[in-house]
Structure 1
Amino acid sequence: MLNNFDEIQKLSKDNMEIAAESFGSVSKGLQAIAAEVADYQKKSFEEGSAAIEKVVASKSLDKAFEAQSEYFKSAYEGFVGEMTKIGEMYTDLSKDAYKPYEGLMGKFGK
């Protein structure tokens, strides 16, 4: 009976360590994603402000439409690129969070 208790205690300790390691990976990953989103928002705001200034400063209606079109195109391309990057960051986050459990799954398979 004492042997089973020791095994259960060791298994419980191992599971807590794995959970803590996984939580640490998730925490770091979410911080990196939050920093990336904040950087993108700042950059997007600055580019939007510059575009508004360029449209307002345009001498003709054609130039204003041209400036607006350029901004919309670059904003769309930047958005798609950023969402792709954030998607990859979430994929990496899930892989890093799963890594500690890989060894545990191998134990149950035996």
Structure 2
Amino acid sequence: MSNVTKEKNGSAASSPAALMTAQTEQAIKMAKASFEQIATRSREALEQNIKTIGVVTEMTRGNVDALLESSRAAAGGMQTIAQEVADYSKQAFERTTTAGRTMALARTAPELIQLQSEFARTEFSNSIAEYSKLSQTMFETMAAIFEPLQKQAITAAQIKDLLKE
């Protein structure tokens, strides 16, 4: 029997039309599988990007919060330092005025020199004490300024490590 006879009898397995239909169906199945695979990978990539955007948003929020906290610490520290300097200046002015009046009442040159020496020693000691106090305040202010930034840097490094995984 020829191919033409087989087609008339219903056996279309080897006919070009049947072969073309089978190949078309196979191509459709392969294309559908490829598109499903692409869709799955795209969905996974999108989910990862959304996760990354969320992490970056949280990190940015943390950065802003750290900067605000650092700025508040800087402002508070500078205000404290300015107040300490103003208080010291006022006290130094009062001490100098009092010493000037006392020296003006000196009756002899040796008495005046003694009063000046005592005043100079006292003011030198006061200056050293004030310098130490200001240094401590500046150190504490700097620590308060950098603490939130350091914490955020550590958090950012940990997040960076998590994103790599």
Q: State the partner residue of 1:24.
A: 72
- The answer to whether the Cα contact below 8 Å between 2:70 and 2:146 also exists between their aligned partners in 1 is yes
Q: CA deviation at 1:57?
A: 0.5
Alignment of 1:1-110 (within 5 A): 1-107=49-155, 108=157
Q: CA deviation at 1:102?
A: 3.2
State the identity as a percent.
20
Larger Rg: 2
- 1:91 Cα shift? 0.4
Q: Which runs of 5+ in 1 are unaligned?
A: none
In the alignment, the residues of structure 2 paired with residue 82 and residue 26 of structure 1 have an alpha-carbon distance, to the nearest angstrom, of: 20
- Contact 2:66-2:149 at 8 Å conserved across structures: yes
- Deviation track 1:3-36 (CA, whole Å, cap 9, x = no partner) reads 2222222211110001000110111111001000
So what's the TM-score if we normalise by structure 2? Answer: 0.63
Runs of 4 or more consecutive aligned structure 1 residues displaced over 4 Å after TM superposition? none
TM-score normalized by structure 1? 0.92
Number of residue equivalences: 110
Instruction: For residues 47-105 of structure 1, give each alpha carbon's deviation from its aligned partner in whole angstroms, at most 9, with x where no partner exists.
Output: 01111111110111111111111101101110011011100100000111122123223
User: Distance in 1 between the 2:95 and 2:151 partners?
Assistant: 47
Root-mean-square deviation (CA), in Å?
A: 1.3
Distance 1:4 1:70 in 2: 69
